[in-house]
Amino acid sequence: MILPDPEKKSDPPQCKNCPSAPVTTDWQGFVVVMHPDRSEVAKRLNITNPGSYALKVNIR
Protein backbone atom coordinates (compact mmCIF):
# COMPACT_ATOMS: atom_id res chain seq x y z
CA MET A 1 0.00 0.00 0.00
CA ILE A 2 1.27 3.47 -0.83
CA LEU A 3 1.80 5.67 2.21
CA PRO A 4 1.30 9.40 2.68
CA ASP A 5 4.18 11.85 2.95
CA PRO A 6 6.52 10.77 5.78
CA GLU A 7 7.13 14.44 6.70
CA LYS A 8 3.63 14.63 8.19
CA LYS A 9 3.80 13.34 11.74
CA SER A 10 0.95 11.03 12.77
CA ASP A 11 0.33 7.50 13.99
CA PRO A 12 2.68 4.81 12.66
CA PRO A 13 1.69 3.84 9.11
CA GLN A 14 -0.42 0.73 8.70
CA CYS A 15 -1.89 -0.96 5.65
CA LYS A 16 -5.69 -1.03 5.86
CA ASN A 17 -5.82 -4.21 3.76
CA CYS A 18 -3.16 -6.13 5.70
CA PRO A 19 -2.35 -4.48 9.06
CA SER A 20 0.37 -7.01 9.90
CA ALA A 21 2.34 -6.33 6.68
CA PRO A 22 5.41 -4.07 6.85
CA VAL A 23 4.97 -0.71 5.14
CA THR A 24 7.51 1.62 3.54
CA THR A 25 7.81 4.94 1.74
CA ASP A 26 10.55 3.51 -0.54
CA TRP A 27 8.70 2.17 -3.60
CA GLN A 28 8.67 2.40 -7.41
CA GLY A 29 5.55 2.22 -9.57
CA PHE A 30 2.05 1.33 -8.55
CA VAL A 31 -1.13 -0.24 -9.80
CA VAL A 32 -4.68 0.86 -9.01
CA VAL A 33 -7.23 -1.96 -8.85
CA MET A 34 -10.87 -0.94 -8.98
CA HIS A 35 -12.56 -4.33 -9.45
CA PRO A 36 -10.22 -7.11 -8.26
CA ASP A 37 -12.76 -9.81 -9.10
CA ARG A 38 -12.70 -8.75 -12.78
CA SER A 39 -8.98 -7.91 -13.07
CA GLU A 40 -6.34 -10.21 -14.53
CA VAL A 41 -3.63 -8.05 -12.95
CA ALA A 42 -5.26 -8.43 -9.52
CA LYS A 43 -5.35 -12.20 -9.97
CA ARG A 44 -1.64 -12.30 -10.87
CA LEU A 45 -0.73 -10.12 -7.86
CA ASN A 46 -3.12 -11.92 -5.47
CA ILE A 47 -5.04 -8.69 -4.78
CA THR A 48 -8.54 -9.14 -3.37
CA ASN A 49 -9.38 -5.59 -2.21
CA PRO A 50 -9.69 -2.44 -4.36
CA GLY A 51 -6.94 0.13 -3.85
CA SER A 52 -3.49 1.42 -4.84
CA TYR A 53 -0.59 -1.03 -4.51
CA ALA A 54 3.17 -0.53 -4.89
CA LEU A 55 4.83 -2.76 -7.48
CA LYS A 56 8.43 -2.60 -6.25
CA VAL A 57 9.05 -2.19 -2.54
CA ASN A 58 12.42 -1.81 -0.81
CA ILE A 59 12.38 -2.75 2.87
CA ARG A 60 15.56 -1.86 4.71
Q: Which of 51, 57, 3, 4 is nearest to 26 (CA)?
A: 57
Tens of pLDDT, residues 25-45: 777 888 999 999 999 999 998
C-alpha 34/C-alpha 44 separation (Å) is 15
C-alpha 6/C-alpha 24 separation (Å) is 9
User: Is 90 exceeded by the pLDDT of residue 16?
Assistant: no
pTM of the model: 0.58
Domain spans in the chain, listed from the N-terminal domain onward: 15-60
Higher pLDDT, 24 or 28: 28
CB 19 within 8 A of CB 25: no
